[in-house]
Amino acid sequence: GNPANDLVEIINQNRTAQKLERLNDNPGLGCMALQYVELCKGNCSGNSAVNCKPPTDDFTEVFAPNCGVELPTIGTITGHIVGCQSKYTEPSLAFANVLVKDKKSLSVLRNKSHSEVGVGLIGFHKGPFFWCVLFSNGGTNSSFVLEDRGEGIRQKKGCYSGSAFPCNAGHRSAMLFNYIITFSYLFISLLNQI
């Protein structure tokens, strides 16, 4: 599964429990959330806070083009929550312990002006794991629209919500490693029989 999608579901469960509207999971917004946290690597403090604030222009000049978001469809970001942890945490624990751990982030989560959400997450080699939630008040299917009939530009690292692509190449790398070991073993066995 995609933990970014799982986190969107947890966010929506929390909102509906408070009698607030469910948010539309927007893949363009999710991809931009992934871009946001990719920019923040190395800025994780001990209390799960991210000391990183990209310039507002980065949303239109860096994040959107990197994701393949059509520029005329970029809407207003109505809020964001960012957090980090030394290692990967299941979405429910990331929600409670990393992202929504104080009244300020809970207030952002429950803002009535939000209509869309996007989640991005990425782990860095020998480094922390970052989560980002971006909110928007855009209209469904008309804001943060990805190019190429919704496919945008395929990300090589990390996960983002609403994506039809696998989270990252981590599983494939592990499978490739297993194939190499298996073929090496078979090759050595074959050489021993000759």
The domain that holds 167 is classified in CATH as: 3.40.33.10
Q: Which domain holds residue 25?
A: 3-192
DSSP state, residue 149? H
CA angle 118, 162, 41 (to 5 degrees): 50
What pLDDT score was predicted for residue 186? 40
In terms of Cα–Cα distance, which of 105, 113, 126, 107 is closest to 48?
A: 105
Which residues, including other chains, have CB under 8 Å from residue 113's CB and lie 6 or more apart? 78, 137
Contact 28, 146 (CB under 8 A): yes
How far apart, in whole angstroms, are the C-alpha atoms of residue 102 and residue 50? 14
In terms of Cα–Cα distance, which of 22, 37, 55, 9 is closest to 132?
A: 37
Count of domains observed in the chain: 1
What pLDDT score was predicted for residue 192? 59
What pLDDT score was predicted for residue 48? 78
Which pLDDT tens digits describe the chain residue by residue (194 residues)?
Answer: 799 999 999 999 999 999 999 999 999 999 999 999 988 887 888 777 888 888 889 999 999 999 999 999 999 999 999 999 988 889 999 999 999 988 999 999 999 999 999 999 998 777 789 999 999 999 888 999 999 877 788 778 899 999 877 776 333 333 343 334 334 444 444 455 66
What pLDDT score was predicted for residue 168? 64
What pLDDT score was predicted for residue 183? 40
Q: Is the pTM of this model over 0.75?
A: yes
How far apart, in whole angstroms, are the C-alpha atoms of residue 174 and residue 181? 11
Contact 131, 100 (CB under 8 A): no
Which residues, including other chains, have CB under 8 Å from residue 28's CB and lie 6 or more apart? 64, 67, 69, 73, 118, 143, 144, 145, 146, 152, 162
